[in-house]
């Protein structure tokens, strides 16, 4: 694609900023625009669009607010914390405050139940998981190289991993026949196809726990995937930003646990983790992303690259104090999963009552809902048509599976942790009315019972 002229002043812009790789025009982001144009508010705009396409964790925020009130010294913008202002406001290099990187390492250990240790010297900060993912990919691959990614996967990967790096993503097709579980056979097949087309595969990217599925990878699967990447001398990147959102069995197993097992012989230089505080603590606005690599060269070079997207020293200072409060973090990591489980059961139970089934999940801030019975036909066009009607008729922004590269039409991700209890009730009521209207008549005027709950 060549350079384009700016609509405003006829200035020729670069090929990078004018290409379509950002993904802003996908249905995933179009739903956000519908919400922005008419946002729901309990009092001011009660008929507005309810945002259920945003994976934010607002359920434990009150605990954070309580801690901040009890610890005013943690902020340099308070009377109690002003004594640290000059030290923190001065220039900080890209290594990060030692107390911050230590706090991050300790928090990563706690969200993995203390079964693995993390070295603060390997913690590389970035501007959110978006910045961490791009930084890591820039270190591992050149333009034109590719990474294998099991579907469905987070739509933002097309922006984070491809847009500015020139790297390609090669989908590994997973489907509902086995609950979208990735198999080593599927990985081998995708890798073989890439080899046949002369595409250089540099690695495999996993999201564990999964976004959008809300499931975790079991130990045996992780071992098989690690063995495969090791045998082919390619990287394994594990996005573990939802590690602290696991609210039910089976337990989350980090790739760090596998490679620290002395019985498993793996080249650690090929293993890397992306972490964040956006989901586990509910801090997406703080833009705290982490690259954690077991490869010294990757750590050193990712740290240099991080100069373009650091975490502010003020944010580091506050979080260092919070993350070092063992009593608070311990209680938080009990309360957060409890509230997520409660909300998950409430919301998926409400969907079940109107005949909508969800993939069984135990993590994340969303559910993977099966709306295939509501499609006029099993096609992408039918899915997008249904999605548009959900937005226009039910005033709900949910995300169609096609935006997650799902190979099957009719699956939708619905987020439930970014709204309060009253809004959940309103959302469930709207869903019920939409389903009832959809079930009443089909194109021929006959009763349609596809989603009527069976006893």
Q: Which of 104, 137, 182, 241 is catalytic?
A: 241
Q: Phi and psi at residue 109, in whole multiples of 5°?
A: -65, -45
**Is residue 239 annotated as a catalytic residue, yes or no?**
yes
Residue pair 206/253 in contact (Cβ under 8 Å)? The answer is no
pLDDT at 124: 96
pLDDT given for residue 455 in this prediction: 32
What pLDDT sits at residue 19?
A: 78
Q: Is the pLDDT of residue 372 over 80?
A: yes
Residues in contact with 366: Cβ distance below 8 Å, sequence separation at least 6, in sequence order: 55, 211, 212, 214, 413, 414, 415, 416, 417
Give the integer Cα–Cα distance in Å for 291 and 453: 46
- Do 402 and 409 touch, CB atoms closer than 8 A? yes
Phi, psi dihedral angles at 124 (to 5 degrees): -115, 120
Please, what is the angle between helix 98-110 and helix 313-323, to 10°?
A: 50
Burial class of residue 420, CB neighbours in 10 A (0-12, 13-18, 19+): exposed
Dig out the tokens for 288 from the structure: 């705290």
Distance CA 132, CA 240 (A): 12
Q: If DSSP codes are grouped into helix, strand and coil, which group holds residue 227? A: helix
Do 322 and 74 touch, CB atoms closer than 8 A? Answer: yes
313-322, 329-338, 349-358, 406-415: which has the minimum mean pLDDT? 313-322
Q: Which residue has the higher pLDDT, 158 or 291?
A: 291
Share of the chain above pLDDT 90, in %: 75
Which of 50, 76, 279, 356 does the annotation list as catalytic? 279
Integer-rounded Cα radius of gyration of the chain: 23
Q: Alpha helices of 272-406 — where are they, by DSSP H?
A: 296-305, 313-323, 326-353, 380-393
Position with higher pLDDT, 5 vs 297: 297
The pLDDT tens digits for 160-172 are 898 899 999 999 9
Regarding predicted confidence, which is higher, 289 or 15?
Answer: 289
Residue 454 designated active-site: no
- Annotated catalytic, 82? no
370 CB contacts (<8 Å, ≥6 apart)? 176, 356, 357, 358, 359, 410, 411
DSSP state of 446: -
Residues 246 and 26: their CA atoms lie apart, in Å, by: 29
Asked if pLDDT for residue 2 goes beyond 70, the answer is no
pLDDT at 445: 45
pLDDT, residue 443, reads: 46
**For the residues 379-401, what does the mean pLDDT come to?**
95
Q: Which residues pair with 399 in a beta bridge?
A: 413
Q: What does the alpha-carbon distance between residue 338 and residue 149 come to, in Å, rounded to a whole number?
A: 31
Q: To the nearest 10°, the Cα dihedral for 344, 161, 152, 399? A: 60
- Residue of 28, 35, 153, 154 marked active site: 154
- Among the ranges given (19-28, 84-93, 368-377, 416-425), the one the predictor scored with the smallest mean pLDDT: 19-28
Q: Of 30, 160, 186, 239, which is the active-site residue?
A: 239
pLDDT recorded at residue 180: 97
Q: Is 59 exposed, middle or buried (0-12, 13-18, 19+ CB in 10 A)?
A: buried
- Whether residue 384 is predicted with pLDDT greater than 70 in this model: the reply is yes
Q: What is the pLDDT of residue 440?
A: 75
Tokens found for residue 189: 């097949």
Is 154 among the catalytic positions? yes
């Amino acid at each position: 694609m060549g350079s384009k002229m700016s609509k405003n002043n006829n200035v020729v812009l670069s090929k990078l900023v004018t290409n379509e790789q950002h993904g802003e025009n996908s249905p995933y982001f179009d739903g956000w625009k519908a919400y922005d144009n008419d946002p729901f508010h309990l009092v001011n705009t009660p008929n507005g669009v309810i945002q259920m396409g945003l994976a934010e964790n607002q359920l434990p925020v009150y605990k954070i607010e309580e801690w901040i009130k009890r610890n005013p010294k943690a902020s340099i913008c308070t009377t109690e914390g002003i004594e640290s202002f000059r030290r923190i406001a001065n220039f900080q290099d890209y290594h990060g405050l030692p107390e911050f990187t230590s706090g991050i390492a300790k928090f990563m250990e706690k969200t993995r139940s203390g079964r693995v240790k993390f070295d603060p010297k390997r913690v590389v900060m970035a501007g959110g998981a978006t910045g961490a993912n791009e930084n890591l990919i820039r270190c591992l691959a050149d333009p034109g190289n590719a990474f294998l990614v099991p579907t469905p996967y987070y739509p933002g990967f097309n922006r984070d991993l491809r847009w500015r790096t020139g790297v390609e993503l090669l989908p590994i097709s997973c489907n509902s026949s086995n609950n979208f579980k990735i198999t080593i056979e599927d990985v081998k097949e995708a890798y073989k196809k890439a080899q046949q087309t002369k595409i250089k595969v540099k690695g495999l990217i996993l999201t564990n726990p999964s976004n959008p599925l809300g499931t975790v990878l079991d130990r045996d699967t992780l071992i098989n995937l690690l063995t495969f990447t090791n045998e082919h001398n390619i990287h394994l990147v594990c996005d573990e930003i939802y590690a602290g959102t696991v609210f039910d069995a089976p337990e989350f197993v980090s790739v760090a646990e596998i490679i620290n097992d002395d019985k498993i012989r793996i080249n650690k230089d090929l293993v890397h983790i992306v972490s964040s505080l956006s989901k586990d603590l509910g801090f997406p606005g703080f833009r705290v992303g982490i690259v954690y690599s077991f490869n010294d060269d990757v750590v050193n070079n990712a740290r240099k690259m991080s100069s373009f997207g650091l975490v502010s020293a003020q944010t580091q200072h506050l979080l260092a104090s919070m993350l070092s409060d063992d009593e608070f973090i311990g209680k938080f990591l009990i309360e957060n999963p409890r509230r997520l489980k409660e909300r998950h059961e409430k919301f998926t139970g409400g969907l079940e009552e109107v005949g909508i089934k969800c993939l069984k999940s135990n993590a994340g801030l969303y559910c993977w809902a099966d709306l295939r019975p509501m499609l006029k036909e099993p096609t992408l066009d039918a899915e997008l048509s249904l999605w548009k009607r959900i937005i226009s008729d039910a005033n709900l922004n949910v995300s169609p599976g096609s935006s997650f590269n799902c190979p099957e039409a009719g699956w939708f991700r619905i987020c439930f942790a970014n709204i309060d209890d009253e809004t959940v009730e309103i959302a469930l009521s709207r869903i019920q009315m939409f389903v009832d209207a959809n079930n009443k008549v089909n194109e021929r005027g006959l009763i349609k019972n596809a989603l009527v709950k069976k006893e």
